[in-house]
């Protein structure tokens, strides 16, 4: 075992049924993955709420691969998105992965990483900020845990659908505006606490931005969404890059 890092970041896959091309692609990619770290950056599943059996059954193939990877030494982190919520009880307490609800910093080799889902990027999005707070109240956690599973799935699917419409609507009208907001967020976050890489998703807009700091450049990369293009971010000691996932788990530089 050497000290070299090979960390992968994926976001906004929005996995639905097991027959979907992206499900098969992601599953194959996991089967072939060799990584020191895997960061699931949120909205991996189009819907996952709490620890209901429905989700564990539906996504068993994916979970089995993640368990295998963890056993073989890959450190797995899962950031909650707005389609996958209340993950701690199952994903952290039972499976042993690290679950995060907001931005976190990591030291990976020589790099300092800031990672976050990205749903807190837009301070003007007051409707969503309220919803995010509301969904994480004790009351809503209680509801999600104690309602019958079939009802949780039904309500969740409706909410997931409107959230996806909301996201794509807000973002498609204003891709340029979205990019602007991402860049403002990156600059602001850097001033609060320095990092070498900022990795996020949520807005469904692939973006590679560099903050100029003296004579060095700091990367702020948005992973976009697998609904448009199956991208992963790979970080090694030599640097980081976005790469496209194609069949049989191979990745190619973009
Ligand atoms: Mn999201």
The predicted-structure confidence for 181-226, as pLDDT tens digits, reads as follows 999 999 999 999 999 999 999 999 999 999 999 999 999 999 999 9
**Cα-to-centroid distance, 12 and ligand 1 (Å):** 7
Both tokens of residue 222?
A: 């948005």
Residue 96 CB coordination number (10 Å): 11
Question: How is domain 6-253 classified at the CATH fold level?
Answer: Purple Acid Phosphatase; chain A, domain 2 (3.60.21)
**Cα-to-centroid distance, 81 and ligand 1 (Å):** 5
**Cα-to-centroid distance, 41 and ligand 1 (Å):** 9
pLDDT in tens, 184-196: 999 999 999 999 9
**Cα-to-centroid distance, 212 and ligand 1 (Å):** 27
**Cα-to-centroid distance, 23 and ligand 1 (Å):** 18
**Cα-to-centroid distance, 3 and ligand 1 (Å):** 33
**Cα-to-centroid distance, 113 and ligand 1 (Å):** 20
**Cα-to-centroid distance, 1 and ligand 1 (Å):** 35
pLDDT at position 250, please? 58
Percent of the chain whose pLDDT exceeds 90: 72
pLDDT in tens, 76-107: 999 999 999 999 999 999 999 999 999 999 99
- Residue 98, phi then psi, degrees to nearest 5: -95, 125
**Cα-to-centroid distance, 154 and ligand 1 (Å):** 19
What torsion do the CA atoms of 98, 165, 29, 248 make, to the nearest 10 degrees? 180
**Average pLDDT over every residue of 10-14:** 97
Both tokens of residue 58?
A: 């539906």
In the chain, domain spans: 6-253
Percent of the chain whose pLDDT exceeds 70: 93
**Cα-to-centroid distance, 230 and ligand 1 (Å):** 15
pLDDT at position 171, please? 54
**Cα-to-centroid distance, 69 and ligand 1 (Å):** 25
- Residue 113, phi then psi, degrees to nearest 5: -110, 135
pLDDT at position 197, please? 98
**Cα-to-centroid distance, 208 and ligand 1 (Å):** 18
Both tokens of residue 15?
A: 């996995």
**Cα-to-centroid distance, 118 and ligand 1 (Å):** 7
**Cα-to-centroid distance, 2 and ligand 1 (Å):** 35
What torsion do the CA atoms of 23, 200, 170, 133 make, to the nearest 10 degrees? 100
**What's the mean pLDDT when you consider all of the chain?**
91
The band of 173, judged by pLDDT with boundaries at 50, 70 and 90, is low
**Cα-to-centroid distance, 119 and ligand 1 (Å):** 6
pLDDT at 1 over 50: no
């Amino acid at each position: 075992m050497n000290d070299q890092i090979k960390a992968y970041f994926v976001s906004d896959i929005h996995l639905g049924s097991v027959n979907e091309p992206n499900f098969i692609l992601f599953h194959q990619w996991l089967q072939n993955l060799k990584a020191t770290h895997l960061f699931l950056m949120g909205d991996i599943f189009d819907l996952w709420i709490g620890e209901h059996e429905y989700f564990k059954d539906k996504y068993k193939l994916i979970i089995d691969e993640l368990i295998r990877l963890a056993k073989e030494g890959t450190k797995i982190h899962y950031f909650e998105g707005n389609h996958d919520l209340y993950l701690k009880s199952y994903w952290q307490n039972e499976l042993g992965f690290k679950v995060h609800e907001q931005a976190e910093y990591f030291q990976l080799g020589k790099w300092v990483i800031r990672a976050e889902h990205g749903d807190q990027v837009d301070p003007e999005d007051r409707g969503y900020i309220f919803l995010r707070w509301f969904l994480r109240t004790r009351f809503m956690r209680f509801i999600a845990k104690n309602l019958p599973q079939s009802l949780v799935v039904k309500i969740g699917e409706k909410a997931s659908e409107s959230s996806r419409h909301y996201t794509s609507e807000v973002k498609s009208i204003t891709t340029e505006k979205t990019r602007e907001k991402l860049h403002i967020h990156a600059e602001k976050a850097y001033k609060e606490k320095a990092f070498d890489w900022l990795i996020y998703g949520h807005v469904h807009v692939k973006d590679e931005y560099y903050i100029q700091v003296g004579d060095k450049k700091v990367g702020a990369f948005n992973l976009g969404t697998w609904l448009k293009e199956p991208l992963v971010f790979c970080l090694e000691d030599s640097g980081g890059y976005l790469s496209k996932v194609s069949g049989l788990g191979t990745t190619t530089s973009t």
